[in-house]
Amino acid sequence: MAWTRAENVRDAGRRLWRRGGRRVQRAVSSRRGLLAYLAVIGPGMIAANAGNDAGGVATYASAGADYGYNLLWTLIPLVLALGVVQETCARMGAVTGKGLSDLIREQFGVRWTVLVMLALLVANGGVTVSEFVGIAAATELFGVPRFVSVPLAGFAVWWLVVKGSYRRVERVFLLMSLVFLAYIVSAFLARPEWGEVARGFARPRVELNPGYLFTVVALIGTTISPYMQVFVQSSVVEKGVTEEDYALTRVDVWTGTVFAIGIAFFIMVATAATLHRAGIRIETAEDAARALQPLAGEYARTLFGVGLFGASMLAAAVLPLATAYSISEALGFEKGVSRSFREAPIFLGIFTFLVVVGALVAMIPGLPLFRVLLVTQVINGLLLPILLASILRLASDRELMGAHANGRVYNAASWLTVLVVSALSLLYIATRLFNFQ
């Protein structure tokens, strides 16, 4: 497959860094194919845009619609946590020249590797389901039933990736997903109460009820999604970034983080100023599309549908493929989309399994599509501490990282993130078990 070959990765890497500084000198190994087709964009910006998929937009929109400006304060710790975690993974990739799966296997042994890969499989499987749910929700806005659109989309994703022609269409899906930038304009046109927006940032409001905690955990899960950590480290390794030219990547990562949280902010403000003000809760894609009415008017539904379809199709190919590469790499199985099922049965089997399961779940009759999008992000949040603990142990290992190991400030911020996410997850589970109101 053309976009997984080392020649294309090297060429794309040279184009990317020619303006930013010295060219990447180290050749990229041909055996590393994970996310190579995205090598024309910086790792940080890729990871940022990856969060603006169907689940991300649904989560941010629901937070604004249900709670108005009251959850905006969560974006402050989220921007710091996301930036620290993403930068840590990017730095590990530059220093070690290895992906996260490789390092976990080498440093922690088979048992812990299996546990982490199982968590990654479950989390990524849930997000893959959410992408096909996004496809179903988008096409139903145009009158196409999910029983027609989802099987066709699933087959198209599988065929394009396995047969090597996905490179030709992925940029189209990427451009379609950029429609969600319209939330920025819509947020201003909706004329929000900026004093209330400021209070939403400055005065944290915490409620110990299942609905509130569900939304907070979903915000964490969609913002610091487990696959994004594998994503950014693999991208750095793919480009052959070294310690010497890492400075540009650090800037890219933090720029991407601010961009991602900025988009989340405007989605929440736009939905708070339109849907929450009108007392509308998001139950369907059509409800979410109403937040774009200040910009697009009667075309808001069409605009939202196009963006949702593009983002979902893009991620529906990336996530199963990234998961297959990660698990195969960690457990030592043969991998590569250019290989046959006989040559790489585990790799192609995982990819096919995730696509099939994602499509089948999305076609369940009566499935509440937007609720599923939120639930999958909560699953991400619940499983996140397992991966974060592994990342932080690796980044603190001076034998592995040398002078680039995490310092006290980074370690404190990182472990605080793990503790807070774990506490919120346990608190949410407790409220469900004991039926707190």
What would the pLDDT profile of 130-169 be if each residue is shown by its tens digit? 999 999 999 999 999 999 999 999 999 999 888 876 666 7
- Res. 242 pLDDT band, cuts 50 70 90: confident
CB crowding 340-350: b at 16 or more within 10 Å, else e: eeeebebbbeb
Instruction: Report pLDDT for 245.
Output: 81
Q: Which residues contact 138 (CB under 8 A, 6 or more apart)?
A: 285, 305, 306, 308, 309, 312
Say whether domain 44-433 belongs to CATH 1.20.1740.10. Answer: yes
User: What is the distance between the alpha carbons of residues 301 and 288, in angstroms, rounded to a whole number?
Assistant: 9
Q: Which residues contact 377 (CB under 8 A, 6 or more apart)?
A: 55, 56, 58, 59, 127, 130, 217, 218, 219, 221, 222, 225
Tell me how far apart the terminal alpha carbons of the chain are, to the nearest angstrom: 53
Q: How far is CA 74 from CA 119, 147, 189, 228, 260, in A?
A: 25, 37, 24, 19, 14
The mean pLDDT value of the chain amounts to 82
| List of E strands, 218-374 | none
Q: pTM of the predicted model, to two decimals? A: 0.82
Q: Are 153 and 313 in contact (CB under 8 A)?
A: yes
Q: Which residues contact 1 (CB under 8 A, 6 or more apart)?
A: 161, 164, 166, 167, 337, 338
User: What is the distance between the alpha carbons of residues 269 and 272, in angstroms, rounded to a whole number?
Assistant: 5
Query: Within a 10 A sphere around the Cβ of 85, how many other Cβ atoms?
Result: 27
Residue 6 pLDDT exceeds 50? no
Q: Can you give the residue ranges of every domain in the chain? A: 44-433
pLDDT digits (tens, 9 = 90+) for 35-56: 433 443 466 666 666 667 888 8
Instruction: Report pLDDT for 148.
Output: 95
